[in-house]
């Protein structure tokens, strides 16, 4: 069984269970196991936690419920009910956007055009391009790094 919060790759074959639940009784009904690729299960309906098709799951899972989906098998004969749950909430530590200076060779017109398209700024006084570190890294221009002016 997979750990909560981890999703298998889309190409993985997973065993899904269909619960034939009726009314408010969660223990009744038959359980059918099927082995189908996830990409073959078409989403037929999606319900938010407050909508009629999801209220019984909202009672069951409470504030953790994000949505309920009804997925149809490839042939359309079997409906699978899936729930999406909020398992964990953690604060995101944003990284500072560090600005670095780049001194390019004078014959690199295409690189200068690319920097302009990425929002780089030209510093006349220091004769360098000011660009976020991640942009310079993505364009593989860190070898042109220079000291910041001023």
Q: What is the rounded distance in angstroms from the CA atom of residue 23 to the CA atom of residue 1?
A: 28
Question: Is 14:32 a contact under the CB 8 Å cutoff?
Answer: no
**Bigger pLDDT: 70 or 4?**
70
pLDDT (tens digit per residue) in 11-23: 444 444 444 444 4
pLDDT (tens digit per residue) in 115-142: 999 999 999 999 999 999 989 999 999 9
What pLDDT sits at residue 35?
65
What pLDDT sits at residue 99?
92
Q: What is the rounded distance in angstroms from the CA atom of residue 89 to the CA atom of residue 107?
A: 50
Residues 6+ apart with CB under 8 A from 65: 49, 54, 57, 58, 83, 84, 85, 86
Q: Is residue 68 classed as helix, strand or coil in its secondary structure?
A: strand
- Joined tokens for residue 142: 């860190």
Average pLDDT over residues 38-66: 91
């Amino acid at each position: 069984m997979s750990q909560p919060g981890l999703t298998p790759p889309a190409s993985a074959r997973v065993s899904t269970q269909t619960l034939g639940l009726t009314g408010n009784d969660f223990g009744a009904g038959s359980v059918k196991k099927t082995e189908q690729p996830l990409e073959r299960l078409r989403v037929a309906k999606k319900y938010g936690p407050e909508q009629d098709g999801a209220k019984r799951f909202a009672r069951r899972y409470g504030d953790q419920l994000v949505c309920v989906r009804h997925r149809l098998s490839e042939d359309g004969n079997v409906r699978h009910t899936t729930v999406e749950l909020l398992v964990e909430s953690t604060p995101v530590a944003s990284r500072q956007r560090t600005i670095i200076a780049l001194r390019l060779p004078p014959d690199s017109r295409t690189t200068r055009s690319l920097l302009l398209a990425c929002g780089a700024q030209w510093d006349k006084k220091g004769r360098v391009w000011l660009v976020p570190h991640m942009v310079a890294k993505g364009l593989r221009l860190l070898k042109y790094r220079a000291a910041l002016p001023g």
